[in-house]
Homo-oligomer: A and B are copies of this chain.
Amino acid sequence: MESSVRIEQALSAAIDLAKQPGCPPRLYEAMRHAVFPAGARLRPRLCLAVALSCGETDLRIPMTAAVAIELLHCASLVHDDLPCFDDADTRRGRPSVHRAFGEALAVLTGDALIVQAFQVLARMPPTARLGSVLASVSAGVGTPWGIVAGQAWECEPTVDVAQYHRLKTGALFAAATMAGAAAAGVDPGPWRALGDGIGEAFQVADDIRDATSTAEEMGKPAGRDLALDRPSVVRELGLEGAIGRLDRLIGEVGETIPTCPGAAELHNLIRVEARRLLPAKLAQRAA
């Protein structure tokens, strides 16, 4: 709970770096609109949890990594909602950024949030870990295998669906685990598999929510997978099958956690979080 408060405070401080004389005030407002009120903040919490599991007790460096990753996630939502992609009117129960501020400012808000993530990293306390954190964070977003590349698969004539999901969703979870390790001074490479596995589980949970929730519950349009003829685990396996796969994936990710002081607590935390991803009426069954 305490870390959630600290994440919100750190995100707010990061956005407020833009609140200066000479900065366009609507750009600042749109950036704040894109980042608040809080979503689940899964990725920054995962990043911090990994750093703690690796034995890091000073969270100043992990927190800069966590904030950078959440800003990049929010940026991706702003651009994904644009008319040329999902054309979504709502996000987190409010108008999407382009609906509230116009398309031009929405493009720039996404750009500004991407850059802000790296400005935050640049303000990290001086440490030799910066290079490793920067590499982990940026690789999860860019090319060849980050979330931007994942989204760009939508612009190709033929798509490898598994690769599409792995990049579009999994890459930023992998960035969260890897950057958490890097921020703790640990080699990030062995932490990639955990992030990939969590990303896959998240994608299944997201498909289940899309198929079973109302737009009000989700804070964004529901039933989009069916409406847009997108691949979905629920369409492929049915609801019970999808819940079964989620359970199996969450069990499996435990095996991918590298040896570290807090491995058992980390796996338990991931189980709890996975249950919270499901609509309340299904969470009991998944448990």
Contacts and interface: CB of A to CB of B under 8 A. Distances in A.
Interface string A185-206: 0000000000000000000000
Quickly give the copy total for this chain. Answer: 2
Contacts of A115: 114, 138, 141-143, 146, 148
Given A22-B167, A148-B108, A156-B26, A116 B135 contact: no
A144 B20 CA distance: 6
A160 to B, nearest CB: 8
Given A18-B143, A22-B163, A143-B17, A155 B112 contact: no
30 contacts: A18-B143, A18-B144, A22-B149, A23-B143, A23-B149, A24-B155, A26-B152, A26-B155, A27-B143, A27-B155, A28-B143, A82-B107, A84-B104, A105-B152, A105-B155, A107-B107, A108-B151, A111-B114, A112-B142, A114-B114, A114-B115, A115-B143, A116-B142, A118-B118, A118-B134, A119-B135, A119-B138, A122-B135, A122-B139, A124-B131
Nearest to A107: B79
A130 interface: yes
Interface of A: 17-20, 22-28, 31, 75, 79, 82, 84-85, 101-105, 107-108, 110-112, 114-116, 118-119, 121-124, 126, 128, 130-131, 134-135, 138-139, 141-146, 148-149, 151-156, 160, 163, 167
A68 to B, nearest CB: 10
Nearest to A153: B24
Given A135-B123, A155-B101, A23 B144 contact: yes
A153 B26 CA distance: 9
A116 B144 CA distance: 10
